[in-house]
Amino acid sequence: MRKGTCRPLTDVDVRLVLTLLCKGFLVISLVTTGRGQTPTAAYKALGAVVSIEPTGFTIQTDSGSRLAVLLSSNAILLRVAPDQKDLKGATKITAGDISMGDRVLVRGHISDDQKTLLATAAIVMSKADIAQKQAAERAEWQRGVGGVVGSVDNVTSTITISTAGFGGTKKTVIHVSKDTVLRRYAPDSVKFDDAKPSTFAQIQPGDQLRARGTRSADGNDFAAQEIVSGSFRNIAGTVSSIDASQNTLTVTDLKTKKPVLVKFTADSQMRKLEPQMAQMIAMRLKGGGAGAPGGPPSGGGAGGAAGAARPAGPPPSGGGPGGPPGGPGDARAGGAPDFQRLLNRIPTATLADLKKGDAVMIVATQGTDSGGVTAITLLSGVEPILTASPSASQALFSGSWTLGAPGGGGGEEGTQ
């Protein structure tokens, strides 16, 4: 958090204003004006409560340090809802109302060793309120759209995306307004929390994108409230070596014929197709049709395959598992069956389940030539699929990048 300066808090002319958003949650800064006072140094910190003490509480700050917070006798304590746009609805609370896991912005005077803060004010968001907001946002992402960017129109502020499914490709025009929140993933991260504020100009054809907002009645247009985009790499190849001790494997890319070092983290998703399921998908890609006996489950639509799985952190696929029949995630609504919904039903796997020569499809960060890439999603057991149609299979799998709802993971499609 940035340090700021303010006059000491008094009971005169106290004014609270909204100043910034932090990791998708409302953050409030305290501005005070004391009559006849000289400005003095002040300190503010944001974090989560990790322990409660008789004299106050301790927070784990967003910068990673622990800070003991002592409450002065005249400290101002307020609770706000995470989606609150001003302080009209803020409620006064007591120290006893602050609980473990609550998110707190504190302001006061810091000790010389930077370990203790004498707080003159604390703005609190309860853990339960935050969880409820996150659940609501995950649901919105699941009802959203996702796909690969085909074109960007700077004049009309629109983005056209393509979403691939077993039944074909659907195009959706995303409308961006001045109020649309734009974020972009870092080249080496699959976490939503690491996504940075971005601009419309940063979105380019070939990017993968997800949006939440309002869909038009015909499903062809989408008014975006929030967009997250990124440039990810799709790899289809065969395993040439595995190093379980380093959580890495080397894949020979079928397209470039070059080796690629692939790293795995706790956020990487690994799944393995059973042979029968792989054959069913291969039949679909060869033209077996949606009515093929025993074919993969349907679902998807505008928010389907190309935009779904998630970095541990914005947004899942349209419809999502268990979506209502006829909804945007259901093939009966006219959309293409959703490969991501199928992917989420496939058993998880580990590096120990792989062996040299196995065929794999991977969605990964762009990475670097020397440092390799970080896997977002790996699917093994795909030999029949790549044989049937390498290009079509990659189109289906291209949207399987992990997206977690703001504030951390969870959600049906991010569960491993």
137 plus 117 within the same structural domain: no
- For residue 28, give the nearest of 123, 118, 141 by alpha carbon: 123
pLDDT confidence of residue 84 = 80
39 plus 108 within the same structural domain: yes
pLDDT confidence of residue 376 = 82
Q: CA-to-CA distance for 338 and 305, rounded, in angstroms?
A: 5
- Give the strand pairing for 91-92 and 40-41: unpaired
Q: Quick one: tokens of 290? A: 């949606």
Whether the CB-CB separation of 232 and 208 falls below 8 Å is answered with yes
Select from 109, 125, 141 the last residue of a domain: 125
Q: CA-to-CA distance for 168 and 299, rounded, in angstroms?
A: 13
Question: What percentage of the chain carries pLDDT values higher than 90?
Answer: 38
Residues 181-210 have a mean pLDDT of 85
243 plus 167 within the same structural domain: yes
Is pLDDT above 80 for 105? Answer: yes
Select from 76, 92, 125 the last residue of a domain: 125
Task: Report how far apart the first and last C-alpha atoms of the chain are (Å, whole number).
Answer: 32
| Residues 76-86 pLDDT 10s | 999 999 878 77
Q: CA-to-CA distance for 333 and 326, rounded, in angstroms?
A: 5
| Residues 331-360 pLDDT 10s | 333 333 456 566 667 888 999 999 999 999
Residues 252-268 have a mean pLDDT of 89
147 plus 81 within the same structural domain: no
Token pair 């958090």 is found at: 1
Q: Quick one: tokens of 149? A: 């960017």
Select from 125, 148, 166 the last residue of a domain: 125
369 plus 236 within the same structural domain: yes
* Number of independent structural domains in the chain: 2
Q: CA-to-CA distance for 200 and 131, rounded, in angstroms?
A: 30
pLDDT confidence of residue 101 = 95
Is pLDDT above 90 for 89? Answer: no
How many helices, marked H, and strands, marked E, lie in the chain?
5, 23
Does the predicted TM-score (pTM) go above 0.75? no
Is pLDDT above 90 for 180? Answer: yes
> What CATH number does the domain containing 78 carry?
2.40.50.140
Q: CA-to-CA distance for 224 and 355, rounded, in angstroms?
A: 43
Token pair 């079509």 is found at: 392
337 plus 401 within the same structural domain: yes
**CA torsion through residues 327, 330, 332, 334, sign:** positive
226 plus 324 within the same structural domain: yes
Confidence grade of residue 166 (pLDDT, cut at 50, 70, 90): low
Is pLDDT above 80 for 63? Answer: yes
137 plus 204 within the same structural domain: yes
Contacts (Cβ under 8 Å, ≥6 apart) of 103: 25, 46, 47, 48, 49, 124, 125, 127, 130
Q: Quick one: tokens of 34? A: 């004391």
- Of the ranges 30-39, 207-216, 378-387, which one carries the lowest mean pLDDT score? 30-39
Whether the CB-CB separation of 306 and 171 falls below 8 Å is answered with no
Is pLDDT above 50 for 365? Answer: yes
Q: CA-to-CA distance for 13 and 145, rounded, in angstroms?
A: 46
DSSP state of 188: T
280 plus 186 within the same structural domain: yes
Provide the residue range defining the domain that includes 57: 5-125
78 plus 161 within the same structural domain: no
Could you tell me the CA-to-CA distances from 296 to 78, 167, 363, 386 in Å, in that order?
A: 52, 12, 21, 17
pLDDT confidence of residue 110 = 92
Is pLDDT above 70 for 284? Answer: yes
pLDDT confidence of residue 119 = 94
120 plus 155 within the same structural domain: no
120 plus 20 within the same structural domain: yes
